[in-house]
Chain A
């Protein structure tokens, strides 16, 4: 009985956001003091494809940015974790990797912004990508560092002894062994970039209109229906990832 009550309370607490966002997305002329919309319309949802809004472009931009960050950070992190594991200064590299991860993203963006401006990357996708990689790359490196144990090295050496080229050892031995961790790194770095608003907004000066930047813009314009549609779009990839792999979504401290 107590357990059901707890379950019910948490279910209401966690699912009301989805219901309210859906009502805001389809409600028409919903003003105070009406508790429910007087009419329903798919105008805001159709606005996805309309000429006046660039929600679909924002979705594409966000997917491209987060996807690129995930792939580059995971691939780079895998190689870097290997290099760190074999370095004489492994512990120092690990501590150094915590530096950008320890500062709040907006503060990090504020600190590096003068250099982004000097590199002529301010307000560009490249600048945002660099900023996001600054957070995602050390995260993936620290996460994947746990793969490069003595055992992984011994497997690699064994494969080489049996005649594999370095490339074959990587493709046929190391990558399959590391796949569960690589998948977690891919998911988490994707979400890191997908959820980001502050760093993107500061470094792009509002010009790289990802979905999160658009939600904020629509809220500023008091356009609740479009803000709700953009919010629901933001929830889609994480929901899909949750369905695919629940464990990978729990952002553990690497």
Chain B
């Protein structure tokens, strides 16, 4: 019986995909109350109490949320502008194929490229120096490893917006929005009204789960903020790994606590958002 899957296989799968992450979450919780980890010294609530005074996790969460919000807003805006404004070009010619090119790029390579392009000794700075626009390194604006996270946002947008444009285009075609366009025009609506009142709500609602996962992915981004971000403020994933990799083992419980709070928070956020999306689904 080469293809009869025993229940054991499903059980092992459950252990791997549910058991391991949940065990990790439980270990982080136990570590945060002093019951697990290399220096576990018995039950204590002091790390949880200290969380109220430690603003670094809150800053990292707010900074990540701001970056993820900006990335989502810009990427969705650009992708919608492309799909709704250049529909004819997307249907014929090489434009659609061109959008696949950034999908080839690992996030780390994108971060390295943008560092080489936008840093104060980068290629754009060199071109502006040669063109006489800047006279010294410091004259070029700080676009990477900056406090506002401009480099991080740029890198994420460059990777996200072509993917979203391809997604919106697939939904546009599957939903036969061209037929709706003809219909709304026949009924007297303008092209702008069709875009605002028919196409936009439909595209956004049908793409909502993917947009949500994309926002969560940006919220937990690691490679790009590691190369293009600053030591402070840090994005969540970089903040967590930095805290966990410190040499002082006494800091581990606080790091476990941060890991537990972030993972739990993300899961709750995801469940709530998915429920809302499902309630308003088309």
**Which residues of A approach B to under 8 Å, CB–CB?**
2-3, 6-7, 10-11, 13-17, 20-21, 24, 32-35, 76, 79-80, 82-84, 87, 93, 96-97, 99-100, 102-108, 110-115, 133-134, 137-138, 141, 166-167, 169-170, 194-195, 197-198, 202, 212, 215-216, 219, 224, 227-228, 231, 234-235, 238-239, 242, 246, 249-253
Contacts and interface: CB of A to CB of B under 8 A. Distances in A.
Contacts of B24: 108, 110-115
B106 A234 contact: yes
25 contacts: A10-B98, A14-B98, A14-B162, A17-B110, A20-B113, A79-B9, A99-B267, A102-B213, A102-B266, A103-B267, A104-B236, A105-B220, A106-B241, A110-B240, A114-B36, A133-B16, A166-B2, A166-B4, A170-B2, A198-B222, A219-B112, A231-B113, A235-B105, A238-B103, A249-B100
| Most B CB within 10 A of own CB, among A33, A34, A238, A249 | A33
Interface in B18-50: 18, 20-25, 27-28, 36-37
Nearest to A236: B104
Contacts of B187: none
A110 B10 contact: no
A195 B103 CA distance: 11
Interface string B194-220: 000000000000000110010011011
B interface: dominant SS: helix
Nearest to B4: A166
B74 to A, nearest CB: 14
A7 B116 CA distance: 24
A106 B237 contact: yes
Contacts of B270: 102
Nearest 8 A-B pairs (CB), nearest first?
A104-B220, A111-B24, A198-B222, A238-B104, A195-B106, A106-B222, A33-B129, A106-B237
B52 interface: no
Given A14-B101, A102-B267, A107-B220, A138 B17 contact: yes
Given A32-B129, A249-B103, 14 more contacts: A7-B89, A11-B98, A32-B121, A102-B216, A104-B222, A107-B237, A107-B263, A110-B24, A137-B13, A195-B108, A197-B106, A202-B241, A227-B112, A250-B103
A242 B216 contact: no
A96 B267 contact: no
B9 to A, nearest CB: 6
Given A7-B89, A17-B105, A251-B163, A215 B112 contact: yes
**Interface size range of chain B in the complex:** 35 or more
Interface string B83-109: 000101100011101111111111111
B123 interface: yes
A80 B14 CA distance: 11
B148 interface: no
A79 B4 CA distance: 9
A107 B100 contact: no
A83 B222 CA distance: 34
| Most B CB within 10 A of own CB, among A21, A198, A242 | A198
A140 to B, nearest CB: 11
B240 A107 contact: yes
Contacts of A197: 106-108, 222-223
Contact of A105 (B125, B222, B227, B244): B222
A99 B3 contact: no
Contacts of B14: 93, 96
A252 B174 CA distance: 14
A191 to B, nearest CB: 9
A111 B25 contact: yes
B60 interface: no
Contacts of A24: 116
